[in-house]
């Protein structure tokens, strides 16, 4: 059931985001669009409530609960970046605003960008760890939940460490731009979005 809820939350995220941007730009109803975009975090709240209720009713702690906690952490930490990226592209498409700058690819600017992403991953893991601790506290069988979910907190530390090494590599071994630079190279250190989204 929890896996289905995670999938529904992901679908709901994109549907609410698309509805908010459609209202804001093509339909020219910015207040409605803004209100819909503000509803995006409610999806995470609903998923958290359903996950906690499942454990409180005696549901068996499983990997699905751990995945739900990490989904919540990463959508909270990276969600604003994604919404800002989508809003920038919608404004470019429908209102002629400048195209959002691409993430930098070289030198110190790329290193700053990667470190900014790593900081968001740290925030995501901290949130996920807090959610896991909350789930352990509300579970009907707290000891079983602690045994099953504490390992996910350790996985979070591993994610932070691996991402930190990747981000640090751009600081220690910065990639040099080709001679003459590259057309369209963005300079914003915090552009882009969550995984696959920049």
Query: Could you tell me the two tokens for 172?
Result: 């220690």
pLDDT attached to residue 98: 93
Confidence category of residue 91, pLDDT binned at 50, 70, 90: very high
Output 182 or 6, whichever has higher pLDDT.
6
Assess whether pLDDT exceeds 60 at residue 17.
Answer: yes
pLDDT at 35: 92
CA–CA separation, 71 and 46 (whole Å): 13
Confidence of residue 120 (pLDDT cuts 50, 70, 90): very high
Give pTM, 2 decimals: 0.82
Q: Which long-range contacts (CB under 8 A, 24 or more apart) does 117-122 make?
A: 117/163, 117/167, 117/192, 118/160, 118/163, 118/164, 118/166, 118/167, 120/77, 120/78, 120/81, 120/194, 121/74, 121/77, 121/159, 121/160, 121/163, 122/160
Residue 13 three-state SS: helix
Kindly tell me if the per-residue pLDDT of 198 is higher than 70: no
Mutual orientation of helices 40-56 and 63-95 as an angle, nearest 10°? Answer: 170
pLDDT for 148-194, tens place per residue? 899 999 999 999 999 999 999 999 998 888 876 554 444 333 333 33
The rounded percent of the chain whose pLDDT value lies above 70 is 90
Task: Provide φ and ψ at 65, rounded to 5°.
Answer: -65, -40
**pLDDT tens readout for residues 74-89:** 999 999 999 999 999 9
């Amino acid at each position: 059931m929890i896996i289905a809820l995670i999938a529904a939350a992901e679908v709901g995220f994109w549907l609410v985001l698309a509805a908010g941007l459609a209202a804001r730009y093509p339909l020219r109803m910015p207040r409605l669009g803004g209100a819909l975009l503000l509803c995006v975090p409610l999806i995470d709240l609903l998923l958290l409530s359903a996950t906690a209720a499942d454990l409180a009713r005696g549901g068996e702690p499983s990997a699905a609960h751990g995945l739900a906690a990490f989904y919540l952490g990463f959508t909270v930490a990276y969600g604003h970046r994604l919404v800002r990226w989508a809003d920038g592209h919608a404004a470019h498409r429908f209102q002629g605003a400048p195209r959002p700058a691409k993430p930098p690819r070289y030198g110190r600017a790329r290193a700053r960008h990667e470190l900014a992403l790593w900081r968001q991953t740290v925030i995501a893991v901290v949130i996920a760890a807090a959610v896991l601790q909350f789930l352990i506290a509300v579970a009907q069988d707290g000891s079983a939940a602690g045994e099953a979910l504490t390992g996910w907190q350790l996985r979070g530390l591993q994610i932070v460490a691996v991402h930190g090494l990747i981000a640090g590599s751009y600081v220690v071994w910065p990639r040099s731009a080709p001679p003459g630079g590259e057309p369209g190279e963005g300079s914003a250190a915090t552009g882009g979005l969550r995984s696959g989204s920049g």
